[in-house]
Structure 1
């Protein structure tokens, strides 16, 4: 794995909170917890080095890797009218050994 050059990434506190939108708690994402992974919804324009720095600042844990997925919005019908869900970006963050967090706490 190529390490990200996070030394060049400087984020303001406001940008950190803009990058990490919310944790994604689904059956599939909670299966990653046994491997030290947590899934977040992130801003569409966020890069992997920015996501790594934002998670390290917010949770004060060491991040090993960041994988991203751009999820396209589905076309849905509501009372006969066609609508489209928004596109969003997911980040699967892998923490160093012993550094994981519990996002399901308090649910």
Structure 2
């Protein structure tokens, strides 16, 4: 399952979500909410109360004459119960 979790996301919006005890991860497109929930609860030892997911829109990238799209990913927003936190952040 560790292969499906790409990385935690640290942007302005996700830093604001930390105040609400919500953490954001980029995951593989094939990962489901249940898999990510089990992984976060098992790896960090916390209780997940909610999950939201979305796939950001594709953006066209240009490298000289070559035009293409970067690899797609899914973004998961994980809500933890009050009192729990993830030490990464």
Fold match, TM over 0.5? yes
Name structure 2 gaps, 5 residues minimum: none
Paired residues, what number?
A: 89
**Structure of higher RCO (CA pairs closer than 8 Å, 6+ residues apart):** 2
Q: What aligned pairs does 1:1-107 form with structure 2 within 5 A after superposition?
A: 15=1, 17-104=2-89
Task: Tell me how far apart the structure 1 counterparts of residues 6 and 60 of structure 2 sit (CA, whole Å).
Answer: 23
Q: Distance in 1 between matches of 2:50 and 2:34?
A: 10
Q: What is the deviation of 1:83?
A: 2.0
Q: Structure 1 residue runs of 4+, over 6 Å off?
A: none
**Normalization by structure 1: what TM-score?**
0.76
Answer with 1 or 2: which has the greater Rg: 1
CA root-mean-square deviation: 1.3
**Counterparts in 2 of 1:75 and 1:101: CA distance versus 1, 3 Å:** same
